Amino acid sequence: MTVSPVTRHRGVAILALIGLFVSVYLLLYHLGYYGILRCGTGSCDVVQSSKYADFLGIPVPAWGAAWYLAMLVLGLMLAAGRSETSGPGKLAAVAATGGLAFSIYLTAVELFVIHAICRWCVVSASLTVGIFLLVSPWRLLRRGPPESLESLAVE
Amino acid sequence: MANSKKSKHRAGKNQPSRSAARSGSSGGKGFYLLLAGLVVAGAAALVLARDTGGGDAPVLAPLSVAETTAPASADAGVAIGPPDAPVTIAEFADFLCPYCRTFNSVVGKALRRDFAGPDGPVRWINYDFPLHQTSWAPALAARCAEQQGRYWQMHDLLYAMSDDWNREANPNGKFVEIAETAGVDKDAFRTCLENRSGLQEIGAARRYGESLGVNSTPSLFINGRSIPATREFFSYAGLEKLIQQELAAATTGSE
């Protein structure tokens, strides 16, 4: 089953919007807006209060919110018809790959360093994987010859 | 040039052209409606997830130990019982930890009453070990009560009444009420919550626990030795037995 690029990029926008709300929720908790995290099962507070809750001096949820916002904008641009080989398309591919790598790092820290899993982090990691699969950066790598060469093709 | 344009069009044949995106306008409308619905639902969830409360009490944002600078200190605990008691029990606890609450109400309180009185054989030292960012607020409230000599009353009430405050966005409003119940002067207590001077002591206590290898709560030490966190020891009978053993060893040692 092939999924059209428009559908894939609409999916990116929807997942990014959900992720944006999750990140904003965690960021507001970090800033003291909420008393206690609604975590259900899991150890959200342990993860959120660890030293890994900040990255380069900025709270991880703030990075997440910025990333999801960027993916939302890029997803909407691509869903509106921008080519995957255009600037936004390439940027989306790079950002999706970077986001997945960062998500793998954070999950590894939870599992092997902090030994605590936060349900919201699992949700965010799943959304990141979903966005990566929908953006499908590998499609850029297996494209045909560049346009400059293709323009020489004889009709 | 024309050829180039044509080729460009071909090169993009697998791409969603603008007309293709427009052609799915009925799906597009549904998509944007779905996005708008998500925005409304998400914003509502963010607002509703917030508990209210706290009134005009000063707010303490969630903290981590990194935000304090005081080094680890064995003097950062709050003690009850004679300074020269032969047995010292150190407890590392977190007011938001459910097991600490159970331990305190079932075991700790009774042991302190029976063994850590003015002439008792035990000196019980409580060290804050805030595991969560939101655990600093109740720890600070207890320290503020300590400034008025009402630490243990506040300590026990904070545990007993934790259902009243542990889901509040700003529990300090409840802490003021609890402090009043504990016999603390309300205005001085509020001032203490505002100036937050107790946070450094809490940070020093937590770092002291870390230096001893504490990584969970409650953690207990008897005369400097860690007590295994099992039911056998974390019970009134189990700890009483350990206290008796320490007393016997102290008596034998002094003979």
A46 touching B (Cβ < 8 Å)? yes
Residue B201 in this model has a pLDDT that exceeds 90: yes
Query: Which chain A residue's Cα is nearest to B48?
Result: A34
pLDDT tens-digit series, residues B215-252: 888 899 999 999 987 777 788 999 999 999 999 998 87
**Is the CB of residue B51 less than 8 Å away from at least one CB of chain A?**
yes
The per-residue pLDDT for B105 is 84
Distance in angstroms (rounded) separating the CA atoms of residues B121 and B169 = 41
Rounded Cα distance, A99 and A108, in Å: 14
Chains A and B: how many Cβ contacts under 8 Å? 112
CA angle in degrees (0–180, nearest 5) for A57-A62-A68: 140
* Cα distance between residue A82 and residue A13, in whole Å: 14
**What phi, psi does B128 have (nearest 5°)?**
-70, 135
Is the torsion defined by CA of B42, B44, B50, B55 positive or negative? positive
Q: Which is more confident, A61 or A2?
A: A61
Alpha-carbon span B121 to B115, nearest angstrom = 6
pLDDT of residue B232: 75
Neighbouring C-beta atoms of residue B231, cutoff 10 Å = 7
Q: What does the DSSP 8-state code read for residue B85?
A: -
Q: Is the pLDDT of residue B55 over 60?
A: no
Strand partners, B89: B124, B222
> Helices A5-30 and A119-135, interaxial angle, to 10°?
150
Confidence (pLDDT) at B209:
94
Which residue of B15, B131, B166 is in closest CB contact with A36?
B166
B167 and A153 in contact by Cβ < 8 A?
Answer: no
A112 vs B: CB within 8 A? no
Range of weakest confidence among A51-65, B23-37, B62-76 = B23-37
Is-contact A52 A46, C-beta < 8 A?
A: no
Question: What's the gap in Å between the CA of A131 and the closest CA on chain B?
Answer: 16
Domain ranges of chain B: 57-254
Three-state DSSP at B222 gives strand
Measured between CA atoms, the residue of chain B closest to residue A79 is B21
Q: Among all residues of chain A, which has the CA nearest to that of B169?
A: A35
Sign for the CA dihedral angle at A141, A19, A125, A65 comes to positive
pLDDT tens column, A86-121? 888 899 999 999 999 999 988 888 788 777 677 788
Q: Closest CB to A34: pick one of B4, B34, B50.
A: B50
A126 and A62 in contact (C-beta within 8 Å)?
no
Q: What is the ipTM of this complex?
A: 0.74
Query: Mean pLDDT throughout B123-139?
Result: 91
Give the pLDDT confidence of A11-24 residue by residue, as tens digits.
999 999 999 999 99
List, for residues B78-121, the tens digit of each pLDDT value: 999 999 999 999 999 999 888 888 888 889 999 999 999 999 99
Q: How far apart are CA B6 and CA B25, in angstroms?
A: 26
Q: For domain B57-254, which architecture applies?
A: 3-Layer(aba) Sandwich (3.40)
